[in-house]
Structure 1
């Protein structure tokens, strides 16, 4: 894969680009370095070489798809953004982010694999985060090992911001707030989580957008400092404002699923160094959220 050296990289060494700017996996960098697979302007260059804007950097990113691991299935998954490095898909309700058991071919990962197959791409595909089965919205995928490791680190360092929309029952007392409550497993239920003093740290920031007095529902925008399983669902249930439709956590069956949508994802592209803001349209029919939001 050819990469044009960005202006911001001018003057730094080839080694600094990989080890300091990208913080690429040491094992991967060592493999490329020993095999002299990284080339600058078509030639193997010393790793101390300073980069200049417009230089062409060649990286051996031929991470092939594993056909046995991810079977391609036509699920008509909307692709919100795509380039040679990564893509963002809009996950519908009713499917897992990745296969939950051997032979499962109806996950988001299978649907994205089909998209790659139909567009003649033979790269690997890896989800960077996940959504619950009945949560909709934006999910970020990497197309090779290098970008996968960089995005994993960015997620860990909270450099990838995800904004969710949720409809919760009742009227919230505060227009905005933070829910700081540890989350652990519910020993009485295999899949449910609960607020627990012995659980993992979990912080949800929320902002009230609108209250519908006719249905007694509140639309809230949420961002997370942590990514615990069912975090938004557990936290609002803990406040006695469960998500509409979320029967697992005490919500009324107003909708066929919990009213939760990963509306927006924001990050700086690791290679292009551009600010990415990707918004996921609502997918429900009949609609749960209003597209005018």
Structure 2
């Protein structure tokens, strides 16, 4: 059994609230996790076991020991990875193309395998996923408490993910919303499609630049929902599939869909600082660089 010890300095925003209310109201931590921490006396305040009704003061330090009893065994695998941000609670990685985010069954050549290798076998769990051939920011939790909090933040849309894409053709509407439900394509096992019986899906976009010579549009997108292949399906639906996206009728200009998770923005759940983490382009050969430079 592994114990994950985390230390959290108390910011001024939590002054005078109790330990109990910090877990219950601020973090909305899972009841089972909180129960185990209380029973095992795993929460220290300034180095001492504390009552859960104790009021916190700015500058106090909580120390929490979290047992990883139910940790799944995932094979650490070495790959060179691009760490964009890391602290004791989370990390953000720039995912390359051709790599899937997490293993299915016994796969071991995934981004999660590489992150666990980087962390010397310690806890890591992805908070969201990217398609195999999409590059950019992926957020990982480094202990079960941050995992639970970040999962909830994602569900409540408190984690903003910004994507860049190159679409086929020239979009003349500079700002738009695509609101079209997405479901499975019953004729193709991996494709999705716009369907009246599908799950609600909303994509906001704005045009950054158009390139008449190449017949391409550089767009920035944010998602109000997180459906599988959402951006790819939505832009195919409006007649502008992503360049290189063979699955969704895109052109063959590139060897993958031209989609990059450019930026992730959220309030850190423990420090309460705003994080805005941007992923550089890492394609070899480059897809976005020449269009980005012209846009810049």
- Fold-level similarity (TM above 0.5): yes
> 2:284 & 2:39 partners in 1: Cα distance?
54
Who is 1:92 aligned against? 96
Secondary structure of residue in 2 paired with 1:59: strand
Who is 1:224 aligned against? 223
Who is 2:20 aligned against? 15
> 1:94 & 1:20 partners in 2: Cα distance?
41
Secondary structure of residue in 1 paired with 2:234: helix
Who is 1:201 aligned against? 200
Secondary structure of residue in 2 paired with 1:50: coil
Any gaps of 5 or more consecutive residues in structure 2? 1-5
> 2:115 & 2:62 partners in 1: Cα distance?
28
Residue from 70, 73, 76 that aligns with 2:80: 76
> 2:158 & 2:61 partners in 1: Cα distance?
27
Give, in angstroms, the shift of residue 204 of structure 1: 0.2
> 1:194 & 1:281 partners in 2: Cα distance?
30
> 2:242 & 2:104 partners in 1: Cα distance?
24
Summarize the alignment of residues 1-293 of structure 1 with structure 2, pairs less than 5 Å apart. 1-63=6-68, 69-102=73-106, 104-117=107-120, 122-290=121-289, 292=293, 293=296
> 2:189 & 2:276 partners in 1: Cα distance?
36
Contact 2:18/2:55 (<8 A) preserved: yes
Give, in angstroms, the shift of residue 69 of structure 1: 2.5
Give the CA RMSD over aligned residues: 1.4
Secondary structure of residue in 2 paired with 1:284: coil
What count of residue pairs does the alignment treat as equivalent? 287
> 1:235 & 1:12 partners in 2: Cα distance?
45
Give, in angstroms, the shift of residue 148 of structure 1: 0.2
Normalised TM-score (structure 1):
0.95
Secondary structure of residue in 2 paired with 1:15: helix
Give, in angstroms, the shift of residue 62 of structure 1: 4.9
Secondary structure of residue in 2 paired with 1:234: helix
Contact 1:195/1:238 (<8 A) preserved: yes
Give, in angstroms, the shift of residue 65 of structure 1: 9.8
Instruction: Spell out, residue by residue over 1:225-256, the C-alpha distance to the aligned partner (whole angstroms, 9 max, x if none).
Output: 00000000000000010000001101011100
> 2:110 & 2:62 partners in 1: Cα distance?
35
Instruction: Spell out, residue by residue over 1:122-156, the C-alpha distance to the aligned partner (whole angstroms, 9 max, x if none).
Output: 53100000000000000000011100000000000
Contact 1:32/1:38 (<8 A) preserved: yes
Normalised TM-score (structure 2):
0.94
Give, in angstroms, the shift of residue 40 of structure 1: 1.2
Give, in angstroms, the shift of residue 111 of structure 1: 1.2
